[in-house]
């Protein structure tokens, strides 16, 4: 299984970016799949920021609610994250992750709950 992120870059604070994650080699059924976005800066723990599963359940971290939108295109095996009104504190490495199960009902899953990860894409928002 391979996950490849793209779409990161540098923007001014208040700007927008759209991250993409393409999944290949998925050996499981496409039902009951949890996909999520995480971010991590150097020396800090990995933070779950948004998740979506095959049942359509979506969760966001409080820090991004109202600014970020997660979506998926099952036909293209792709996951997206639209990030609006970016702030300097959003600057991090962003990772997508997937697991052959549904996501939690009321929060973004913990990193240990997801089996497959991409290598990340850097997002920088400067003031």
DSSP assignment of 26-56 equals --S-SSS-EEEEEEE-TTS--EEEEEEETT-
104-121 pLDDT tens trace: 778 999 999 999 999 999
Which of the four pLDDT bands, split at 50, 70 and 90, describes residue 84? very high
26-42 pLDDT tens trace: 888 777 899 999 999 88
Determine the straight-line distance between the first and last CA of the chain, rounded to whole angstroms. Answer: 37
| 3-state secondary structure (DSSP) of residue 35 | strand
Average pLDDT, the chain: 94
49-66 pLDDT tens trace: 999 998 889 999 999 999
């Amino acid at each position: 299984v391979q996950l490849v992120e793209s779409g990161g870059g540098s923007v001014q604070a208040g700007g927008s970016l759209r991250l993409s994650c393409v999944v290949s080699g998925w050996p499981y059924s496409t039902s009951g799949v949890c996909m999520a976005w995480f971010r991590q800066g150097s020396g800090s723990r990995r933070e779950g920021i948004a998740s979506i599963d095959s049942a359509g359940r979506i969760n966001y971290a409080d820090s991004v609610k109202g600014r970020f939108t997660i979506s998926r295109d099952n036909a293209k095996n792709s996951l997206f994250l639209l990030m609006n009104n970016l702030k300097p504190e959003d600057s991090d490495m962003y990772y997508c992750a997937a697991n052959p199960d549904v996501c939690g009902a009321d929060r973004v899953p913990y990193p240990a709950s997801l089996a497959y990860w991409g290598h990340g894409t850097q997002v920088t928002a400067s003031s």
